[in-house]
A = this chain, B = another copy of it.
Amino acid sequence: MKPFLELFRQAEVPKRPPLWMMRQAGRYLPEYREIRATAKSFLDFCYTPELAIEATLQPIRRFGFDAAIIFSDILVIPDALGQGVRFVEGEGPRLDALEGVEAVRALPAEIDRTKLEPVYEALRGTRAALPAETTLIGFCGAPWTLATYMIAGRGTPDQAPARSFAYAEPEAFALLIEKLVLACVEHLVAQIGAGAEVVQIFDSWAGPLPEGEFRAWCEKPVGDIIRGVKARHPEVPVIAFPRAISGGFGRFAAEAKPDAIGLDTAARLREARAAISVDVVTQGNLDPLVLVAGGAALDRAIDEILDATQGARHIFNLGHGILPSTSIAHVERLVEKVRG
């Protein structure tokens, strides 16, 4: 069995943790920068299957990671809901902001599948080209995180516009989250149909929410997505990544019932591991900045995670995406140390 899937399916914990890195297909790789330059926009790049396939395969060729994550973006869902997503160089994403309750009601009930067809084609092509031992991961953004962009029309510090909207218009906000739950289930199920063997739900902006809002807008909808996916594909592991939350991992695991939980850079690994049932896999939480730094600091940080997860079900990964300034030699060192 593939080393990555073993962790979810075997009674025994494998001797070495499977390894991949969030944003492993990306700008720190010269071969990525080369093909990225051939597409006129970031979204065009995501929607061109041959480019997305090549980007997905590049880090696997170079480092032999245990899993490949399909090259795509979380904002393809708002794009497939008609929000006109575009990426402004050096500034980040821009969307047609949802202005008010009526705009939320007017959102289509279903994603435009033809728009997302290139993503599924990229998954099929990647699966065909990947080594047999490599696991293919599909993904989506979680409803709360997507809503923060959809309400504000862009990324925002502390996600204040979406938080304010949710306080002022809780019913309309709940409707938006419900629509996004359905869109996420549909997109993940389609990705599984196209070859994804594991899926990850990125709740990148879960961190600033107060506890009650976290339960309502993150824990509950992510749990709904997981139940929706499991109803169709009970065998496919789901990784939930509620980034930068202030504890509450035990409750989140019990309520949302993911197969694995991603732990961000600041998460207390031993504490979280102790709070989560032993059957649930953890993933993370190496600091991307220590991978940039390298040297003794990197070695020590890797050892700390290996120590803290000794005998536990853990996927070695970063706590956030790899940074463009990361040197390839440091990634090689990481692979060498984790593989032992």
Q: Report A's interface with B, CB cutoff 8 A.
A: 160, 163-164, 167-168, 170, 207-214, 244-248, 264-269, 271, 285, 287, 289-290, 292-293, 295, 297, 301, 304, 319
| Known A160-B289, A304-B212: A244·B207 in contact at CB below 8 Å | yes
Q: How far is the CA of A289 from the CA of B208 in the complex (A)?
A: 11
| Known A212-B304, A285-B210: A168·B268 in contact at CB below 8 Å | no
- In the bound complex, do residue A301 and residue B207 qualify as a contact, i.e. CB atoms below 8 Å apart? no
| Known A246-B244, A247-B268: A167·B293 in contact at CB below 8 Å | yes
Nearest chain B CB to A96's CB is how many angstroms away?
24
Copies in the complex: 2
Residue from A287, A292, A301 having most chain B Cβ neighbours under 10 A:
A287
- In the bound complex, do residue B164 and residue A207 qualify as a contact, i.e. CB atoms below 8 Å apart? no
Q: How far is the CA of A292 from the CA of B168 in the complex (A)?
A: 10
- In the bound complex, do residue A287 and residue B245 qualify as a contact, i.e. CB atoms below 8 Å apart? no
Residue from A247, A293, A295 having most chain B Cβ neighbours under 10 A:
A247
Residue from A167, A245, A268, A285 having most chain B Cβ neighbours under 10 A:
A167
Contact sample, A vs B, 29 pairs, CB 8 Å cutoff = A163-B287, A164-B289, A164-B293, A167-B289, A167-B290, A167-B297, A168-B293, A168-B297, A170-B297, A207-B207, A207-B244, A207-B266, A208-B265, A209-B266, A211-B268, A211-B269, A212-B301, A212-B304, A213-B287, A214-B266, A245-B246, A245-B266, A246-B246, A246-B247, A246-B264, A246-B267, A247-B247, A247-B268, A247-B271
Q: What B residues does A244 contact at CB under 8 A? A: 207-208, 244, 246
- In the bound complex, do residue B319 and residue A266 qualify as a contact, i.e. CB atoms below 8 Å apart? no
Q: What B residues does A213 contact at CB under 8 A? A: 287
Which residue of chain B is the closest to A209 with respect to CB atoms? B266
Give the contacting residue for A211; candidates B163, B246, B266, B295; CB below 8 A.
B266
| Known A168-B293, A293-B167: A210·B245 in contact at CB below 8 Å | no
Nearest chain B CB to A152's CB is how many angstroms away?
13
Nearest chain B CB to A121's CB is how many angstroms away?
35
Which residue of chain B is the closest to A285 with respect to CB atoms? B210
Nearest chain B CB to A141's CB is how many angstroms away?
19
Nearest chain B CB to A190's CB is how many angstroms away?
33
Q: How far is the CA of A140 from the CA of B287 in the complex (A)?
A: 28
- In the bound complex, do residue A210 and residue B265 qualify as a contact, i.e. CB atoms below 8 Å apart? yes
Q: How far is the CA of A209 from the CA of B264 in the complex (A)?
A: 10
Which residue of chain B is the closest to A266 with respect to CB atoms? B246
Residue from A211, A214, A245, A292 having most chain B Cβ neighbours under 10 A:
A211
- In the bound complex, do residue A210 and residue B297 qualify as a contact, i.e. CB atoms below 8 Å apart? no
Residue from A289, A290, A293 having most chain B Cβ neighbours under 10 A:
A289
Supply 19 further A-B pairs (C-beta < 8 A) apart from A164-B289, A208-B244: A163-B287, A164-B293, A167-B290, A167-B293, A167-B297, A210-B285, A210-B290, A210-B301, A211-B267, A211-B268, A211-B269, A212-B304, A213-B287, A214-B266, A244-B244, A244-B246, A246-B246, A246-B264, A246-B267
Which residue of chain B is the closest to A297 with respect to CB atoms? B167
Nearest chain B CB to A91's CB is how many angstroms away?
14
Q: How far is the CA of A268 from the CA of B266 in the complex (A)?
A: 16
